[in-house]
Structure 1
């Protein structure tokens, strides 16, 4: 296969995988990928209100915008970005992760002590397995299965997916998602409102590109994009209740980060 065609094909597969997690996040409240967790906060409430088509349209539109910004950035500034990224050492890695954790605490929608407890539990689970630097075994308790550690995606899907399945079975004795019939009218309606959220889209794109170049990653970018959108919104109380801006922000940031 021609190298250019191969790169295009692999890029399409990658972007499709990035976006795919948003579908189950919106329709079933089960994140298909770790960076789709933030999309569930407003995407699923929109689906419950019968606005699943709007949420999905917002998701793929913001995904395109975030990816486009990152592609343009990489295309024109690749040499500068690569030289900057190569300068990162242990102090810079620590600073980026510390900034990410602080943003979770400062911008989180829950009580700060709950956020700290959740992060502590996450760090405890992340400590299981073989240390990548020293090779030292940590909290494996003699189990060969724990040598690789606890997979983040498995933990996230377990926390969100299993709980949602059990809750749905308890309430309705059946796992049912929400229908989403996307029409041209819905797509044009969402696109018509895009200029209202240009600040959110731009801010999330910048956050995503920054955390993509640095070792933050798409997961941190999606949460930070969502939290900043909520923090700077004039109607913070509407977040978590089906606000379309709560879908634009994490999807834009995640795709900008994943692309850059």
Structure 2
């Protein structure tokens, strides 16, 4: 039995749901079974219906109407309600013992950067339900090639990595939106960048009183090894396949598969060969 899943994280609008759909399509195309688990109480299903949907437990619009909360307060209430009713989640995913689960998470990154809501859910999945999980953190390529935005994005990804305590992959989404030869060359620099070179470029354009702070942030990013990204074009199967191979490596998906018995016809053929010899 193997219980394997991937958490798809990142700011709102970064392309998480699109990536989830592309990942599910690719996994099914290679003969594996996978399911979407929606953890966003404000989401609507797209190409695929959700196999497990938090809205079946508590929809955001009901919370906002009955509790008179705004969107962010309502979302936090929904997650706290989920944590108090984890038996519902256990029942919903209990039938998927040997299948790959894709957890589509909300875009409100405070849920996994400085509020311990999603970390508590991850702890339940890994310790109580024996899931092998991987976290993917998406940032938009057009956003990241701005040097100052690069560091702010990496810091948010680092915060999620530290709180969740899971194997972690950084992904640059929407790389197809980066146009022009100059911009594409710039993009390649950010897939595996040297943060010390980037901070020098930032310091040239920033107030000298921020230079020490910039250097300290750079050193922190470098120490945590948060400077490698996988490029994602959700409409390109090879791009999605490459990311899945990384996810499989860190979750040890292949090692968790039970060995299969050889087909009977093959055994009979082998016996016939042995008799001939």
Q: Would you call these one fold, judging by a TM-score over 0.5?
A: no
**Which TM-score bucket, shorter chain as reference?**
under 0.3
Which of the two has higher C-alpha Rg? 2
Greater relative CO (CA pairs within 8 A, separation 6+):
1
Choose between structure 1 and 2: higher strand proportion: 2
Which is helix-richer, 1 or 2? 1
